[in-house]
Amino acid sequence: MPKPDYLHFFIDPNRCIGCQACVQACTECDTHRGESMIHLEYVSRPESVQTVPVVCMHCEQPTCAEVCPADAIKRTGDGVVQSARKPRCIACGNCVMACPFGVPEVYEDRKIMMKCDMCYDRSSVGKKPMCATVCPSQALFFGTLEQIEQLRPLSKPTNRFQFGGQTITTQVYVMLPRALATRVPHVDVAAAMDERPRNRALSLKVEPDPFAEVEV
């Protein structure tokens, strides 16, 4: 049964609080019980504790599948990119190197690539993926476009990402500030690589020692 086409996966990085509830819930998914296919990344660890959940974006033209020499990675008719099929996967790691979002992982002990499949056993029957059911801040949301517009009136979902000269369209949406989303047609992911850290001055105020004149 395909995933209902009116239901979508949304990520709102601004709402992630780094609680790791999604990571723990992911281990309970029946398709990969015991392993978490989601992880948290720091946006800029030297400057902030802000984290963002990383899941498979389910590209419309998945690069991981295109570079697989064994044809082990399949995309369902409703657009969900599956983990590698065990009988075919040769654990070469091509998909790991090719994915622009850094999602696939090769498990050496089992010689297979595994990744987020949007809890397909759940989402294909209209249920929320495990991570979206437990996220306390709704940084991960599974629902309709109408619902997300009502819940996030100051944000706008986008599913177009720019990597150099390549534009990638995905099944998963990322929430952007509405003012920014109206100015740019896509998210330029590689642009952050050209950013230079801002100059920061460290100033420490030294308080006088109240016991400096006290004789012991």
Q: Which of 77, 90, 60 is nearest to 120 (CA)?
A: 77
- Asked whether the beta carbons of 53 and 42 are under 8 A apart, the reply is no
Query: Which residues in 44-88 belong to E strands, given as ranges?
Result: 51-54
43: confidence class by pLDDT, cuts 50, 70, 90: confident
- CB 34: neighbour CB atoms within 10 A? 7
123: confidence class by pLDDT, cuts 50, 70, 90: very high
The pLDDT assigned to 83 comes to: 93
Q: Is the pLDDT of residue 116 over 80?
A: yes
Whole-number percent of the chain with pLDDT over 70? 86
As given in the structure block, the two tokens for residue 76 are: 């369902």
pLDDT in tens, 136-155: 999 999 999 999 999 999 99
Q: Mean pLDDT, to the nearest integer, of 45-62? A: 89
pTM of the model: 0.82
Q: Mean pLDDT, to the nearest integer, of 24-40? A: 87
Q: Is the pLDDT of residue 199 over 60?
A: yes
Report the Cα 144 to chain-centroid distance in Å: 19
The maximal CA–CA distance of the chain, rounded, in angstroms, is 83
What gap in Å lies between CA 112 and CA 86, rounded to an integer?
6
